[in-house]
Structure 1
Amino acid sequence: MTDQPALFLGIDTATPWRTVGLWGESHGRSVLRWRATHSQGRDLLPKIEEILASSGCSTKDLTGVAVAAGPGSFTALRVGVSVAQGLGMGLEIPVVPLGTLEIYPPLLAERGMRTTVLVPARNGEVFAQCFDRNGDGRWIPQTDLGCWPVDRLNSTIENPGLIIGPGLHHYAEEVQSCYGGEAEIGEETFRTPDGSSLAELGWLKWKRNPEGFPADDVQIEYHQSHGALTIEERKGGTSR
C-alpha cells in the first residue's frame, strides 16, 4: 500500500449538512454533499459506494479514512465514526479523527489570514473557534473551542475575521447584529463541509504520524452545549 499513491476517504456527519469525499495524490478530488434526513445514517454507506463507483475506485484502493469526530450531533457523529472504524478495521487501514471546526478554514484557500468557524449547537448556541493562517499556510487555533449563545460571540471573540461554517445557515443575521453590522460573513461556499478537503486534511495528519491512527481508537469529542447538560451538571456548572 505504501508504494501506491495515497487515496483517502473523508466522512462528515457532524451537522445536518453531510458529505463524503475522496482525495488522492493521483486521483484528485471528488465530493458528494446532501442534507440529512431522518434515516439516522442509512444513507451514508450508499453515498460512499456512489462516490467510489463514480471515481472508478473501490474500498480496497483506500489508504485511510478521515472522519469528523466532533463536536456535532451526538447520534450522527456515532454513525459517521462507526462507519469509518468499520472500514478501517475491515481494510486494516488508519482512521484519522478531525475536529469538526478545523475542517472549514482550509476551504478558504488563499483568502484571508483569520477566520472564525461556527457550528450549530442547541438553544441558540454555537460551537465557535478562531483560527489564524501561519507562514506555511496551516490554520492554527487562536482560541479554545467553546460553546456560546450567538448574541455573546462578540464578547468572546472580539476580532473574528471572516466568519464561516454551518452555524451561519441558522444564525447569519444574529451574528451580523452581534457585531454591530460590521462582521465579515462568508458566502455559501464556506458554510457546508467538503469531504474531499476533509480527506486531504486526514492524509496530511496521517503523513506526519503514519503509525498514530489505529482504526479501533477514535475518540468522539462531543463537547456538549449548555442546553444539553444534565441537571446535576447545570447545578455544578460543569460540562462534559
Structure 2
Amino acid sequence: MLLLALDTATPAVTVALHDGSSVVAASSQVDARRHGELLLPAVDRVLAEAGVRLDAVTGIVVGVGPGPYTGLRVGLMTADTFGLALGVPVHGLCTLDGLAYGAEVASLDGPFVVATDARRKEVYWARYEDPRTRVTEPAVDRPADIAEQVAGLPAVGAGAVLYPDTFPDARAPENVSAAALASLAAEKLAAGEELDAPRPLYLRRPDAQVPKNYKVVTPK
C-alpha cells in the first residue's frame, strides 16, 4: 500500500504519503489564496522526499470538506485526475474527521468538537466521542447558535480559535494535516472499512451566482 493523501478544504495545502504502516513524507503550507499554486509542487516535494515516483502510488485519499467552494475543488479535482491517470482508487474522507484524528496528539480521548472557519462569521463543525468517532453530521452555523450544544467541550480547529466565547477551550491543531488523513484512511482500509466517495461536502451554495434579470441580447 502506498497512499497519497491531500486536502485543500482549509487554508492549509497539505500532502502526505503513507506506506500502510506509517507516514513516510508530508508537507503543509497555510495560504488560503494559493491552493492551486501550491498543491502540485507540494506533491512533488513529498514524492521526492520519499524517493518514489507518482506511478508507485496505489491509492489516493482526499479531504472532501466541508470547506469553501474554490479551495475544496482544487484538491478534489487533483485527486480525481491522479486517480484516472494512474488507474487507482480515490477515497474521500471528511476533513473534520482528519482534524479529529489529529487531535489525538492533544490527548483528547473524550468528547470534543471540531470547528473550522466557514467565513461569513460561521463555522463548519461536528461533535466527536473520541478521535475516531463522529457523533453528529457536519454542519455550518453561527457559533452563538450552537453554544449550548458545545458547552463544556474542548474544541480543535481554526474555527474554535476564532470564536473563544463559544469555544473557550480551544486546542491544536488548527488546520487538518494530510498525514492525519492518510493515517486514518490506512487504519480504516486495513480494518476492511469502506471509505467515502470523493464528493465535496459544501453544506451551502457557492458565493458566485448566475446574475438575475440580466439583459438578453438577440441578433438583429
Both proteins in one fold, TM over 0.5: yes
> Which deviations, in whole Å up to 9, do the C-alpha atoms of 1:70-111 show, x marking residues without a partner?
210211111111111111111111111111111111113353
For the 8 Å contact 1:8–1:200, the answer to whether it is kept is no
| 1:72 to 2:50 alignment | no
Which deviates more, 198-207 or 54-63?
198-207
Q: Return the match for 2:112 from 109, 112, 115.
A: 115
**Corresponding residue to 1:91 among 86, 93, 101:** 86
Out of 148, 156, 159, which is 1:155 matched to?
A: 148
Q: Which of residues 166, 183, 189 is equivalent to 1:178? A: 166
Q: Quick check: 1:196 aligned with 2:179?
A: yes
Give the match for residue 55 of structure 2.
60
Secondary structure, aligned partner of 2:119: coil
Of all paired residues, the percent bearing the same amino acid is 24
- Name the CA distance, whole Å, in 2 between partners of 1:144 and 1:26: 29
Are residues 164 and 37 of structure 1, via their aligned partners in 2, closer, same or farther at CA, if it must alter by over 3 Å? closer
Unmatched 5+ residue regions in structure 2? 210-220
RMSD of aligned alpha carbons: 2.6
Deviations 1:40-86 (A, max 9, x none): 51221111011100111111221211101121021111111111111
**Residues 112 and 162 of structure 1 are in contact (CA less than 8 Å); yes or no, is this contact kept in structure 2?**
no
Change (3 A) 1:49 1:154: same
- Cα separation, 1, equivalents of 2:170 and 2:139: 20
Matches of 1:23 and 1:88 in 2, distance apart? Answer: 16
Q: Output the CA distance in 1 between the equivalents of 2:10 and 2:174.
A: 11
Structure 1 residue runs of 5 or longer lacking an equivalent are 1-5, 231-240
Query: How many residues align structurally?
Result: 207
2:101 to 106, 127, 149: 106
The 1:229–1:84 alpha-carbon spacing in structure 2 relative to 1, beyond 3 Å, is: closer
Runs of 4+ in 1 over 4 A off after TM superposition: 227-230
